[in-house]
Structure 1
């Protein structure tokens, strides 16, 4: 009979594996923008119970969507040398496990939305529809990056609705920020798979427009995103600390686009993921300081 310590160790290892499967660390993309919307809508923090259920919604929705994406893409991940070492192609995690994770996360998302308010509950199927749709978009449209961006944009919009029970211009602009930002760095990341996508018939902006065209589109998206960050500051009556964060984010975006090298995986991961995680965290911190100080 296994000792309690061995069982506990196996459970921790399995949880860590599931976290790697859904790329849990990538929560630092849309979550900070959801918190920014929450802070502005509340002019601080909402009541603890509401904050708790908003966080449950954000984590459940994001991780359920990522789990489903891994399931849907497993055939192509196995064919692509860049992704062949992922958990599902290697058989580390079974399809049944991933579908159970997705179902549990989706159910938790709807339950948490119900706990927040009825508008969030009624809108939850739309969010789940977007989560599910994105995983299939590369099969039929090169606009897949924008669908991902729109899906992630639901985080700040949903957080605002959770706090206020309604919609306003600020969350719409902040949602546009997230849409352009995520779409842009997803295009950057997708430049690594131009040849593969074309060879297997997958759709993407890099596959359609080539490396140069895709990077130009990504730069335009990020420029528009940065300009809209200024609009958010104006609409939200934010102060100098927020704009310092916006200014530093511009420098980080310039660094991101300056080091792009589709043939160098570490550089691409750093450009597409790490720098953007830093941008979202920086904007969250400077917004929080601006509001709470």
Structure 2
């Protein structure tokens, strides 16, 4: 039992389980928006929400575990990542592959459950392509400086998948807009995070905007990405019929993003972790809370 608990703790450390906070709230936002449209009462069924949480965490766990396996040798040469369980030798690749398989099976069962319990086969049919796409990010830095946007688009599948899970065979425009917002949001703060690894990426022939264009231009691209996030959130208010509570949430998110960029300057990355995890964790929680509360308080909307 002690060995199993130790393995679980190491795995959670390796895949940064706490970072699920970035994607999960957006999946729940999409679920509530889709639920309002299909059942006219403002929220999906509790069982559907539970399956969305399971599937999202499982898919992310597969992608992150695969990333750690593929990048183990690269991580071993990076002072920032060399102490992770795989490069440090605290976890074997065999155990990592076993954990990946476990979560891939969990994801598959969760997707199948939508078909079994709710008559929705789309999650099951799309489960394979989704896993392939999210795992593909692990190779993106080897080929393109725009890998930050691949990562963003992979995580952006979360709200799209949640919408389809609740509203079978349909992907409403609010879901597409949420996916674009998440893509730009994730890419923006991943660019900030990548500034820490400029020297290592250049040495190892890996691509990122900071490594290829320099931190000054890269940070301006990150700022532009987050301007697009705020613009997208304002647009979402109109297409999803969101009201005052949501507006307050968007204002708070805009302030948080300004603070995030104020914390990091080219050459000064001491506060990257604060900007990366704390600020963006707050962004996702504040925004999800605003959307869900606004949906529950609003008159049910049965139009797509």
Query: Is the shorter-chain TM-score for this pair beyond 0.5, marking a shared fold?
Result: yes
Q: Deviation of residue 115 (structure 1)?
A: 1.8
Matches within 5 A, 1:42-121: 42-43=35-36, 44-116=42-114, 117-121=120-124
The separation in 2 between residues aligned to 1:127 and 1:138, in whole angstroms, is 19
TM-score by length of 1: 0.94
Q: In the alignment, which of 228, 241, 246 is matched to residue 245 of structure 2?
A: 241
Partner of 1:27 in structure 2? 20
Deviates more, 1:27-36 or 1:103-112: 103-112
Across the two proteins, how many residue pairs are aligned to each other?
A: 286
**Cα deviation 1:78-126 (Å, max 9, x = unaligned):** 1011111111111111111111111221222122112222122211122
- 1:89 partner SS: coil
The question of whether the paired residues in 2 share the 8 Å contact of 1:192 and 1:263 is answered with no
Corresponding residue number in structure 1 for 2:5: 12
Q: Aligned partners of 2:11, 2:266: CA distance in 1, in Å?
A: 28
Structure 2 unpaired stretches of 5+: 37-41, 115-119, 298-304
**Which residue matches 2:134?**
131
Deviation per residue, 1:146-197 (Å, 9 max, x gap): 1101100100000000000111111000000000000111011001111111
Conserved? CA contact 1:31–1:155, under 8 Å: yes
Which residue of structure 2 aligns with residue 287 of structure 1? 291
Displacement, 1:265?
5.6
8 A Cα contact 2:246 2:294, kept in partner? yes
Higher relative contact order (CA 8 A, sep 6+): 2
Distance of 1:184 and 1:177 partners within structure 2: 11
Change (3 A) 1:264 1:10: farther
Q: Which runs of 4+ in 1 moved over 4 A?
A: 261-266
Change (3 A) 1:238 1:250: same
Quote the Cα distance in structure 2 between the aligned partners of 1:241 and 1:170. 17
Shift, 1:49, TM fit? 2.3
The counterpart of 1:39, out of the listed 19, 27, 32, is: 32
Query: Is the contact made by 1:262 and 1:268 (CA closer than 8 Å) also made in structure 2?
Result: no
Q: Is the 8 A contact 1:261 1:268 kept in 2?
A: no
Q: Is the 8 A contact 1:56 1:112 kept in 2?
A: yes
Contact 1:39 1:288 in 2 (8 A): yes
**SS of aligned partner of 1:90:** coil
Match of 1:3 in 2: none
Q: Offset at 1:261?
A: 4.5
Residue 4 (structure 1) aligns with: none
Q: C-alpha deviations, 1:23-81, integer Å up to 9, x for none? A: 00000001101101111111233122222222211010011111111111111111011
**Once superposed, what is the RMSD of the aligned Cα atoms?**
1.4
TM-score norm. by structure 2 comes to 0.90
Q: Distance in 1 between matches of 2:250 and 2:193?
A: 23
Match of residue 153 from structure 2: 150
CA distance in 2 between counterparts of 1:26 and 1:264 reads 23
Conserved? CA contact 2:219–2:266, under 8 Å: no
Classify the secondary structure of the residue corresponding to 2:271: helix
- What is the rounded CA distance, in whole Å, between the counterparts of 1:49 and 1:39 in structure 2? 13
